[in-house]
Homo-oligomer: A and B are copies of this chain.
Amino acid sequence: MPEDVSLATVAARAGVSVSTVSRIVNGEMRRASPATVARVLDAIEAVGYRPNPVGRALKSGQSQLVAMIAANLDNPAMATIASSTEAALREAGYVMVLCDTHDRPELQDEYLYAMRAQMVRGYVLVAAVASPALSELSASGAPMVFVTRRNPSGNGPFVGIDDSAAGAAVADHFADLGRRAPAVVFPRLGSSASRDRVSGFLARLRERGWSDDAIIRADGEGRSHLQIGYDAGARIFGGRDRPDAILCVSDQIAYGVNRRALERGLKIPGDCELVSIDGTPLNQWVAPWLKSIEIPYAIYGAEIVAGLQLIWRGEAFGERLLPYKFG
C-alpha cells in the first residue's frame, strides 16, 4: 500500500467523512446507504487502501493479537505449523506472536500470563504440557485451540491427526512387507500424540499376529528427540534381538536412531527400515533414507484459524483430524 494512503484519502475520494469510512471499514454498514457503502468500497479499491489491523484494534478496543505458545520451535514441524498459522491469521486481519515454552510448564505459565496481560484475542497451544496457568485459563473460557497434543488438563478444541490410526498404518506396512522384528522408539516423557501413535502401532501388530513380548520397544529420557533416538538406538542395536523395521514417533527421533545405526556400521534402510510419523520437508534434503507418514502441517494454519473464528462467535469446535499421507 502506498505510504500516504489513509482513511482520509479514501474519504476524499468517496466524498464522505472519515468517520463514515471508518465505520464501513470496521464492518458497521447499517448507518450508511447502500450507495454510500458502494462508493466507499470502490474508493478503497481505487486508492489501494489496506486497513491496518492494529489501528483497527486500537479503535475498536479489541486486540488483534493472537498468541501461539509452542514447544521447541527449532523442530521443523513446529516451525511449519507456526508459519502456516501466522499466514492464515494475517489473512484474517490478526497479528501472531510466538513464544517457545521448550516443553517446560513454568515457561508455558509465564507466557500464558504475559499474553493474557497483553489482552490477546486468543491462544494457540502447540504441544501443550500440563501447567497451572493452562488449567486456569482454559477453565475460565479463554479462546484456545490445542494443536498436535490434546489439552493435558481436559477437553478443548483440537487440531491434529488420528495418531492411533497413524501408528496402526505403520504396523500394517511392516506386516505387509513381511518384516519380522518390528520395534518402536518414543519419548519416555510422552504426550497424547506419542502415546497414541505407540498404542495404535502395538494394537495393530497384535492383531496382525505378533505377541506383545516379540515387539521391541525403546524409549529415551529428556526432551530432545534427537538425543532420545540416539540413546534408544544404542539399546535397540545393541540388544539380543536385532530389529528389521522401526517406528520412530517423530522425524527427529529417526535422525537420532539413524546416526546410531551409522556408528554401528548399519545401513538404513538396507539393514533396517525406519519409518517416522511427521514427514517434514527437511527430510527430502537431508534424510532421503527415511520413510514417513506425512502430516499436513502446512494446512494446520487454516484449520486453526477457522477454529478460533468459531470460538469467537460462541460456537462449538470439537476436533479436526487432518488427513496424513503414507506411501
Does A255 lie within 8 Å of B285, measured CB to CB?
Answer: yes
Does A79 lie within 8 Å of B74, measured CB to CB?
Answer: yes
Q: How many Å from the CB of A162 to the closest CB on chain B?
A: 25
Does B65 lie within 8 Å of A113, measured CB to CB?
Answer: no
Residue on B nearest A52 in the bound complex, by CB = B113
Out of B83, B117, B132, B288, name the residue touching A74 (CB < 8 Å).
B83
Number of interface residues of A (CB under 8 A): 47
Interface residue? A316 (CB, 8 A): no
Q: Which of A89-97, A205-213, A240-248 contacts B (4 or more CB under 8 A)?
A: A89-97
Number of copies: 2
Q: Point out the residues of chain B lying under 8 angstroms from A95, CB to CB.
A: 99, 110-111, 114
Q: Point out the residues of chain B lying under 8 angstroms from A18, CB to CB.
A: none
Out of B58, B98, B132, name the residue touching A3 (CB < 8 Å).
B132
Q: Point out the residues of chain B lying under 8 angstroms from A215, CB to CB.
A: none
Residue on B nearest A102 in the bound complex, by CB = B83
Bound CA–CA A23/B47 (angstroms): 53
Q: Point out the residues of chain B lying under 8 angstroms from A107, CB to CB.
A: 90
Interface residue? A82 (CB, 8 A): yes
Q: How many Å from the CB of A278 to the closest CB on chain B?
A: 14
Q: How many Å from the CB of A70 to the closest CB on chain B?
A: 10
Interface residue? A319 (CB, 8 A): no
Q: How many Å from the CB of A206 to the closest CB on chain B?
A: 33
Q: Point out the residues of chain B lying under 8 angstroms from A114, CB to CB.
A: 53-54, 64-65, 95
Interface residue? A73 (CB, 8 A): yes
Bound CA–CA A57/B113 (angstroms): 12
Q: Point out the residues of chain B lying under 8 angstroms from A25, CB to CB.
A: none
> What would be 13 A-B contacts, judged by CB atoms less than 8 Å apart?
A53-B110, A57-B117, A74-B76, A82-B100, A83-B100, A86-B99, A86-B100, A95-B111, A255-B285, A259-B288, A262-B288, A282-B286, A286-B286
